A and B are shown apart, each in its own frame.
Chain A
Amino acid sequence: MSEKISEDSNALSKQSKLAQLIKKTASEKIGPENTVLVWPNLVYLELIAIMVSVAVILFLSLVSPAPLEELASADTTPNPTKAPWYFLGLQELLVYFDPWLAGMVLPTFIIIGLVLIPYLDPSPLGKGYYTFKERKFSMLGFGFGLSLWWVLILIGVFFRGLDWSWYWPWDDPHFHQPAGAVKLMDLEIILQSTLGLSEAPLTTLGRYAITKANVLTWALFLGFYGVGFTVPFLFFRDFYRKLGFVRYNLTMFFFISMMGVPMKIFLRLLADVKYVLVTPWFKF
């Protein structure tokens, strides 16, 4: 008997939910009272936007015409050599990463990551309106990547001068910055000397002579990903359940890789680490 009642109330709540849904969709339905004619309402708005933008472009063009430097010459390398501004973020990454990473792998990850966004975000909330509350993780994640991109561009445009050194706005851009002592070291060397590990290779893999310190750097590198994958899985079960196995792993892979970029930057700036991993084929 009690079961029957609960079933009934269940059905009732389902029914009322359905009624709510119908009511909601009905209010969102495109009725004539909620719509306006595109001509003149939207067309005129577009016309104004076009006129203002063209005026701005014309103004900028008259005030600041396109520059033309000296004839291209393979004999004289300008100092510094700067890419167009929208690629300066990647060029700035060259300070911290080798070209295969900064110029190829990371941009590829960015593009693939961007393409995957709609397929990795299962939440129906926040569609068609600005909201932070309803989608904190995706907003913070995207916002972090976007700010990283813009900060690196701004550094490249405004704070890099001769020899790609750091120049404050008040530094004279015509003088070279004094060359600092080169203190950068590979992580395996740092570990080897601080922990007093033997330099003798444990085993060799082709040209790769693997020492204890090598194993340790690999463990740290893989541990970074390992911890990143495991912690949300254990402590944010809801997050994992909502995403499912495939979405979770893809999301975390791109998220952890993105967090790895500033991590490596800080490792270099604060701990003088040049490479985390060194192999005969690639350095990272």
Chain B
Amino acid sequence: MLKLLQKIRSIVNKTQVFKSIFRHGYPDTDGNRALVMFSNVILHLHPVRVRRGALKIKYTWCLGGLTFLFFILLAITGVILMFYYVPDTRRAYNDIRDLGTVIYFGSLFRAVHRWSAHAMVFSVWMHMTRVFMTGSYKPPREFNWVVGVILLVTTLVLSWTGYLLPWDQLALWAVTVGSKMAEATPFIGAAGPFGPELGRNSGNDMAFALLGGTVVGQSALLRFYVLHCLALPLITALFIAVHFWRIRKDGFSGPL
């Protein structure tokens, strides 16, 4: 049986179709194990060889990679959820309720999206703590730490914008708390220090820009939807690319 499978494999590996997709043999020799890293776009995030220290789980706790995994899970489940959701205050809530009652696996997709979001926020914090504890932000990796802080912020904002979309009481009032804070921004908030002195009122301040109005309503829902599903994921993906690219350029900070 095993021999038969091996034979099939060796025949498949020689076909034109297989060779057009994979530019390497099965990675069971050192040569092919190096080639697989060169010729596969996803695996190319890695170098061909790493120092032994990089494999130590107790050094990295896999936290950066897991954060990326949760981002991917969120992107996949997010796309599925978008099929069933319309950012209209009159139907958003019912769309979310349908996920739990009408749509096959709707509840599961929503739950995975929610848990991945919590997990991503948690793991990105833990990752930052680990990077601090091992001093991995020190030269030449200063700028990658800055990119990491930007990713922390986009993660939090992504999570917060997603909070409004179910349009239930939890969503409305959590975002209302946030918009009250925006209103209190110094200089650019109507209720903030020196805001009124600089001519800010509820129609032209920071909270108005965020909500597209004076209350959390239809404009706010649409803004949060577009930010959550389009703008912020793109920005985050861009900075993730820079983050990874820098790790490859600067090398891994860990021990031997």
Chain B min CB distance to A154 (Å): 13
Which chain A residues border B169 with CB–CB below 8 Å?
A: 69-73, 76, 78
CB–CB A87/B108 < 8 A:
no
CB–CB A282/B193 < 8 A:
yes
In the complex, given contacts A43-B43, A102-B181, A142-B132, what are 19 additional A-B residue pairs having Cβ atoms less than 8 angstroms apart?
A: A36-B50, A37-B48, A38-B49, A38-B50, A40-B33, A42-B54, A53-B69, A61-B114, A61-B115, A66-B111, A72-B216, A83-B174, A103-B178, A104-B186, A104-B189, A111-B149, A115-B145, A119-B142, A121-B138
CB–CB A57/B115 < 8 A:
yes
Q: Which of B65, B133, B159, B182 contacts A46 (CB 8 A)?
A: B65
Distance, CA A128 to CA B56, complexed state (A): 12
Which chain B residues border A119 with CB–CB below 8 Å?
A: 142
| Stretch from B10-18, B92-100, B223-231, B232-240 that touches the partner | B92-100
Pick from B49, B55, B182 the residue with the most CB of A within 10 Å. Answer: B49
A91 at interface (Cβ–Cβ under 8 A)? yes
Which chain B residues border A127 with CB–CB below 8 Å?
A: 134-136, 138, 253
**10 closest Cβ pairs, A-B complex:** A103-B181, A61-B111, A282-B193, A118-B142, A99-B184, A72-B172, A100-B184, A126-B135, A35-B49, A66-B114
CB-CB contacts below 8 Å: A71-86 with B: 71-74, 76-78, 81-86
CB-CB contacts below 8 Å: B107-123 with A: 107-108, 110-116, 118-119, 121
CB-CB contacts below 8 Å: A48-107 with B: 49-50, 53-54, 57-58, 60-62, 64-74, 76-78, 81-87, 90-91, 98-100, 102-105
Pick from B43, B96, B115 the residue with the most CB of A within 10 Å. Answer: B115
CB–CB B33/A39 < 8 A:
yes
Q: Which of A66, A69, A84 contacts B159 (CB 8 A)?
A: A84
CB–CB A61/B149 < 8 A:
no
Chain A min CB distance to B211 (Å): 13
**Majority secondary structure, B binding face:** helix
Pick from B66, B112, B113, B191 the residue with the most CB of A within 10 Å. Answer: B112
| Stretch from A26-34, A238-246, A247-255 that touches the partner | A26-34
CB–CB A128/B135 < 8 A:
yes
Which chain A residues border B53 with CB–CB below 8 Å?
A: 128
Which chain A residues border B170 with CB–CB below 8 Å?
A: 67, 69, 78
Q: How many residues of B contact A (CB 8 A)?
A: 94
Count class of interface residues, chain A? 35 or more
Distance, CA A224 to CA B149, complexed state (A): 29
CB–CB B132/A104 < 8 A:
no
A6 at interface (Cβ–Cβ under 8 A)? no
Q: Mark B21-43, 1 if CB is under 8 A from A, else 0.
A: 00000010010011011000001
Q: Which of B37, B121, B138 contacts A124 (CB 8 A)?
A: B138
Chain A min CB distance to B237 (Å): 19
